Amino acid sequence: MAAFFRLVIILWTLVRYRLDQIVPAAQLPWHVRLLLLPCKLWPAPKLNRGERLRHALEDLGPIFIKFGQLLSTRPDVIPADIVLELNRLQDKVPPFDSALFRRLLETALDAPVATTFKSYEEEPLASASVAQVHGATLHSGEKVVIKIIRPGIERIIEKDVRLLYVLARMVERYSIDGKRLRPVEVVEDYRTTIFDELDLQREAANASQLRRNFLHSPLLYVPEIYWDYTRSHVLVMERIEGIPVNDVPALLDQGTDMKALAERGVEIFFKQVFEHNFFHADMHPGNIFVAQENPKYPRYIAVDMAIVGSLTREDQYYLARNMLAMFRRDYRQVAELHVQSGWVPEHTRVEELEAAVRTVCEPIFEKPLKDISFGQVLMSLFRTARRFDMEVQPQLVLLQKTLLNIEGLGRQLYPDLDLWSTAHPFLERWLKNHFNLKTVWADFKRYGPEWLEKFPMVPQLILSGLQQSQNLGDVAPQLRNIKTELEHQRKQITRSRRRAGVGLLAILGAAIVAWPALDAHLAVRHLDMQSIPTQSWGLLALGAVLLLFRK
């Protein structure tokens, strides 16, 4: 029953903000439009569609806020105006009880706070959607922050994710654009991402790796992790002092070289992606600070490494060459690289892809370089490739989102930032180093023992492969029969699911129509069955019949 009421509250929020208008009615099947008719009883708020979605997610609580943040990382499937609005979602939520925080800390460390810490701050420094942070000092004198996962958050997330799956499957099945937007895949990404964020040892390991990559670097500082006090739900990390990167007045007051600061941000990004192949994928302003020691040579400070990304060696190589080909407006090479990399099917006609890329990119490149968004060009390129059946590349989407964040931040700090002039020589240098003898020798030393170990097995592997090919030829007719039968079964399952889906929509429509009575029930804890509208009972009966006789 609790899950039903939670679903009704979600539906009511969607109706109140008229989120049905986000997808044009013409793109929906007639039966879905019919079930959404009750939504028209409520006037649309005087907000654009991105603002409506943002406010709805904020009203639904921290789990949906996190989901909105994940949606903002998918500009490949979410329209740009909605992504822009979702980027404004904040992690500020009411803190949970400080006494409970202390008890959780003492339980995790199996020791009283006074034994572990010289001093401890009862008031939280920050409160986010899945965790809370307090300050403390170790007995050795180091100032630290303590991060603890909100108690019971896993159960809440699991319940809400199940409901999100239901809504995503409905959108995928009944919206014309459903399959292209891949809502179920987005929810799966969200589930993986948010449960990864709940493992603070994973975040600590990411931070430790990033710190090692930039140790003694003048570009980026990553706080130290105190592993003796870190657990799966508790993280203890060095406390840093710095200016929030979006506090431009404070940066100007201390005489920060804003041009150098913006360019160093771009350099950090390319170093992470191409030299280290390990990049901080959540570099929004809330996670980035600027050290105060040397304003003329500013140094970034990064926190919250729960989300990181990396590329395969092949993706690194093809991405670098794609970027350089775009610099040179060599659209033929861009198209060829997409085919060679496997990002688009090998049967793609290179000439058609080349023409499509030229159509998108040529108007952009007519502007001065400093006015061109590198991230937007990359996003346009991937969208164009999607027309040629390019599959979603999660690692490239994460990188694209990070690049958009970095570029947007750099332009905010220094509006005349020319990202191209910083990126071009870096990519040229990286490709040159990628193919020199030193790199080849390093690869041989790393993989040589494995190659030598497997070399004696090569003849046997070749013979086994030839034998398997012959066996496959013998069973080809049987496979064709199995394929025919599976296709028949698939069509039957599809018909059954379609009828079940319509039944479920009818039940959800009944819940929407019955909302005033349910709302009264929530207020007075007494539900008068006669107060539920007749049409609600009709929709409920229709849904039950369709579910029972869905075959």
The H or E element containing residue 126 is strand 126-127
pLDDT tens string 421-467: 778 888 888 888 876 666 666 665 665 676 566 667 667 767 776 67
Listed ranges 23-37, 134-148, 178-192, 387-401; the one with the highest mean pLDDT:
134-148
Identify residue 379 by its one-letter amino acid code. Answer: M
Tell me what pLDDT residue 328 has: 84
Residues 66-95 have a mean pLDDT of 71
How high is the pLDDT of residue 547? 45
Q: What is the DSSP string of 457-476?
A: GHHHHHHHHHHHHHHHHHTH
**pLDDT band per the 50, 70, 90 thresholds, residue 373:** confident
Please provide the average confidence, as pLDDT, over all residues in the chain. 78
More confident residue, 396 or 177: 396
Which segments within 131-215 are labelled E, that is strand?
A: 131-138, 143-149
pLDDT: which is higher, 237 or 401: 237
Q: What is the pLDDT of residue 525?
A: 44
- Amino acid found at 442: A
Active-site residue 282, yes or no?
yes
Q: What is the pLDDT of residue 524?
A: 44
CA pair distance 310, 398, nearest whole angstrom: 9
Look at 264 and 485; give whichever has higher pLDDT: 264
Task: Please identify which of the residues 189, 282, 304, 315 carries the catalytic annotation.
Answer: 282
pTM attached to this predicted model: 0.69
Q: Under 8 Å CB-to-CB from 488, ≥6 apart: which residues?
A: none
Q: What is the mean pLDDT of residues 494-503?
A: 55
In the DSSP assignment, the letter for residue 130 is S
pLDDT number for residue 495:
58
**pLDDT value at position 211?**
96
Q: Render pLDDT for 263-280 as a digit per residue (tens, 0 to 9).
A: 899 899 989 998 899 999
Q: Which structure tokens are listed for 130?
A: 């899945």
What pLDDT does 187 receive?
Answer: 78
Contact 251, 372 (CB under 8 A): no
pLDDT bucket at 121, cuts 50 / 70 / 90 = very high
Q: Would you list the domain boundaries of the chain? A: 2-91+174-186, 98-150+199-308, 311-435, 439-474, 490-548
